[in-house]
């Protein structure tokens, strides 16, 4: 069965099944979504208009037995940043689409009728039907009403009320194997899906083959075993992430003075231990939740979890460091139960938990509520859920909220909220925030791995030397990994274990019967970045947008009195490759 492109035109409610063009044959995940967006979306178009397209694609290794290969990419022009966007999520969809032979799902046009629709994707094509009964329903109730929570051959992509209202921080939710919610989180792709009046997309893989055809079964099996062993043997991938989730970073980042506190005023939070991964795991275990949980089948790291309340009732899953930091240290709230409740509300609304949580700190900066007001934060999230005038402002993200309230202390790059590492005291991540084609995005080039965790060597986070090169190399590698369908966290092992990267390349070659080298894979990463940057430049983004807000330049951050001291020329050097 050869792979196909499924193209849905919401303008005339038509569906086409197309052969994969030769130029797209060797692409998957981020490489494919960004290539299609760059080729078919006018860079200057309105991101919520008819010319934008939403592209969903599994990775090159999706659907195989490769460990941690169940990540899904979605791409479009971002309504938040105005540039290109690729989001990445776990869940069941990537593996199902790959088994079904769907190289990409492209959704274009806008419907003539002012109503919502549902798409059902099968191996035969896509069925479009009106869907008005479930409009306004949150993501959790939607999963329950559609009765897909525990169906292994069923996937679901959906938007909540935020996406229906085309709010700029709306995300797309992806059902995981246990009926929990994962997110195609950043950049407002839920608003793009909402603009196309699609409430949800179900994926029915009942008729799909159970296994992906491999060009060389034995070679793939051997490479996959080596790769999985490299992950399991690594102290971060095989131990720390499973024990404490990504929230293991709270104490670590606080210790080095890089935990942004009270809207980036200091690098340490005196209540850090109350929101740490260690504290979270302690609560989960005592209450009978799950400390370890996988966001997709085949995950050997198990860095997700199931967080429950004091009575043992489910609250949230995939409770991530960046979200906990943003409502915790950033907003000065030290109660994990309040943060978990807020995370659950954001999942239900369908809104990016980084953008929204950073926005809450901006709301505190504006005096809407006080820093540390946990109940006030929950009330503001209810405003977002209800779509009140204030909720519409907050749901538009940190940048818009800061402009409406006349603030200068607004932590965004390309209008996207800066995540959980202060760029003055972790300078490599600052270069990534500046130069990423996606806006401020820690995952685009996670220099924290080398600056703080000392994976792949060590580059002093407080010094300028080596940071541009570090961010560049990591952004290139990340673009390649995002194209395979592998979880970004495999990068820790790839940086430290000399067997991991060759095994990854061997899996690609055995999957497709090709002969890629490591240099070829890195060349793919470079090509992805250049494609994305060219789109952004055509959309009107310039080097002037590759800058941090000026308060990072003007204010030193305790405890190291670190400052953002890169010149414009030094930042722009990033693109000389």
172-190 per-position pLDDT tens digit:
999 999 899 999 999 999 9
Q: Is residue 233 part of a domain?
A: no
Residue 152: pLDDT above 90? no
Residue 99: pLDDT above 70? yes
Q: Are residues 431 and 407 in the same domain?
A: no
Q: Are residues 452 and 345 in the same domain?
A: no
Separation of CA 531 from chain center: 19
How many residues in total does the chain contain?
Answer: 577
256-284 average pLDDT score: 97
| CATH number for the domain harbouring residue 43 | 3.60.9.10
For residue 177, give its domain range: 4-204
Residue 2: pLDDT above 90? no
| CATH number for the domain harbouring residue 299 | 1.10.569.10
Q: Is residue 237 part of a domain?
A: no
Average pLDDT taken over every residue of the chain: 96
Q: Are residues 525 and 457 in the same domain?
A: yes
pLDDT tens digits, one per residue of 318-344: 999 999 999 999 999 999 999 999 999
Could you tell me the pLDDT band of residue 515, with boundaries at 50, 70 and 90? very high
The total of structural domains in the chain comes to: 3
Q: Is residue 91 part of a domain?
A: yes
Query: CB–CB of 157/55 below 8 Å?
Result: no
Q: Is residue 217 part of a domain?
A: no
Q: Are residues 252 and 360 in the same domain?
A: yes
Residue 549: pLDDT above 80? yes
**pLDDT of 513:** 96
Among 420, 436, 470, which residue terminates a domain?
Answer: 420
Q: Are residues 145 and 263 in the same domain?
A: no
pLDDT tens digits, one per residue of 186-223: 999 999 999 999 999 999 999 999 899 999 999 999 99
**pLDDT of 1:** 61
Q: Are residues 64 and 187 in the same domain?
A: yes
Residue 240: pLDDT above 80? yes
Q: What percent of the chain has pLDDT over 90?
A: 96
Q: Are residues 438 and 399 in the same domain?
A: no
Q: Is residue 464 part of a domain?
A: yes
- Closest among 366, 420, 431, 433 to 393, alpha carbons compared: 366
pLDDT tens digits, one per residue of 413-472: 999 999 999 999 999 999 999 999 999 999 999 999 999 999 999 999 999 999 999 999
Q: Are residues 407 and 484 in the same domain?
A: no
Among 142, 175, 204, which residue terminates a domain?
Answer: 204
Per-residue burial over 188-219, b = 16 or more CB atoms within 10 Å of its CB, e = otherwise? bbbbbbbbbbbbbbbbbbeebeeebebeeeeb
Q: Are residues 407 and 262 in the same domain?
A: yes
**pLDDT of 520:** 97
Query: Of 211 and 405, which is predicted with more confidence?
Result: 405
Could you tell me the pLDDT band of residue 151, with boundaries at 50, 70 and 90? confident
Task: Give the pair of three-digit tokens for residue 469.
Answer: 């090169």
**pLDDT of 447:** 97
Q: Are residues 345 and 393 in the same domain?
A: yes
Q: Are residues 120 and 169 in the same domain?
A: yes
The whole-model pTM stands at 0.97
For helices 336-349 and 139-146, the axis angle rounded to 10 degrees is 60
Q: What percent of the chain has pLDDT over 70?
A: 100
CA–CA separation, 546 vs 366, rounded Å?
Answer: 26
Q: Are residues 562 and 449 in the same domain?
A: yes
């Amino acid at each position: 069965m050869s792979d196909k492109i499924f193209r849905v035109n919401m303008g005339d409610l038509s569906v086409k099944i197309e052969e994969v063009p030769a130029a797209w044959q060797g692409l998957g995940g981020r490489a494919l979504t960004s290539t299609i967006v760059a080729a078919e979306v006018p860079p200057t178009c309105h991101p919520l208009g008819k010319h934008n397209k939403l592209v969903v694609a599994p990775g090159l290794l999706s659907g195989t037995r490769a460990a941690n290969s169940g990540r899904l990419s979605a791409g479009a022009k971002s309504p938040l940043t105005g540039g290109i966007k690729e989001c990445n999520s776990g869940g069941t969809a990537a593996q199902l689409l790959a088994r079904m032979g769907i190289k990409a799902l492209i959704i274009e046009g806008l419907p003539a009728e002012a109503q919502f629709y549902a798409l059902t994707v099968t191996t035969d094509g896509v069925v479009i039907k009106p869907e008005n009964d479930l409009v306004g329903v949150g993501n959790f109730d939607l999963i329950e009403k559609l009765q897909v929570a525990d169906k292994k051959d069923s996937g679901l992509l959906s938007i909540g009320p935020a996406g229906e209202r085309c709010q700029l921080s709306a995300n797309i939710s992806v059902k995981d194997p246990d009926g929990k919610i994962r997110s195609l989180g950043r950049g407002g792709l839920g608003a793009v899906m909402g603009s196309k009046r699609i409430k949800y997309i179900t994926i029915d893989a009942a008729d799909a083959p159970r296994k992906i055809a491999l060009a060389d079964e034995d070679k793939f099996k051997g490479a996959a075993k080596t790769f999985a062993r490299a992950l399991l043997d690594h102290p971060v991938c095989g131990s720390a992430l499973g024990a404490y989730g990504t929230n293991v970073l709270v104490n670590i980042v606080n210790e080095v003075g890089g935990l942004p506190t009270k809207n980036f005023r200091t690098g340490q939070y005196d209540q850090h231990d109350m929101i740490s991964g260690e504290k979270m795991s302690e609560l989960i275990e005592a209450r009978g939740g799950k400390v370890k949980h996988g966001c997709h089948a085949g995950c050997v790291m198990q860095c997700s979890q199931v967080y429950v309340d004091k009575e043992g009732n489910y609250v949230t899953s995939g409770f991530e460091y960046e979200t906990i930091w943003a409502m915790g240290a950033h907003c000065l709230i030290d109660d994990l139960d309040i943060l978990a409740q807020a995370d659950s509300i954001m999942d239900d609304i369908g809104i990016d938990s980084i953008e929204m949580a950073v926005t809450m700190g901006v709301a505190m900066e504006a005096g809407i509520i006080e820093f540390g007001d946990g109940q006030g934060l929950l009330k503001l999230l209810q405003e977002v859920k209800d779509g009140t005038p204030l909720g519409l402002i907050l749901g538009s993200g940190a940048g818009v909220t800061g402009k409406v309230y006349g603030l200068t202390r607004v932590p965004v790059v390309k209008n996207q909220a800066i995540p959980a590492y202060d760029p003055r005291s972790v300078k490599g991540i600052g270069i990534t925030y500046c130069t990423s084609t996606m806006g401020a995005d820690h995952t685009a080039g996670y220099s924290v791995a080398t600056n703080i965790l000392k994976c792949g060597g060590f580059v002093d986070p407080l010094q300028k030397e080596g940071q541009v090169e570090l961010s560049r190399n990591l952004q290139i590698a990340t673009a390649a990994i995002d194209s395979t369908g592998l979880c970004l966290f495999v990068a820790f092992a790839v940086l430290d274990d000399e067997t991991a990267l060759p095994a990854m390349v061997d899996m690609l070659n055995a999957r497709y019967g090709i002969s890629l080298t490591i240099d070829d894979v890195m060349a793919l990463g470079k090509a992805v970045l250049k494609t994305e940057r060219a789109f952004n430049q055509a959309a009107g983004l310039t080097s002037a947008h590759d800058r941090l807000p000026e308060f990072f330049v003007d204010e030193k951050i305790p405890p190291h009195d670190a400052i953002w001291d890169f010149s414009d020329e030094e930042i722009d050097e990033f693109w000389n490759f």
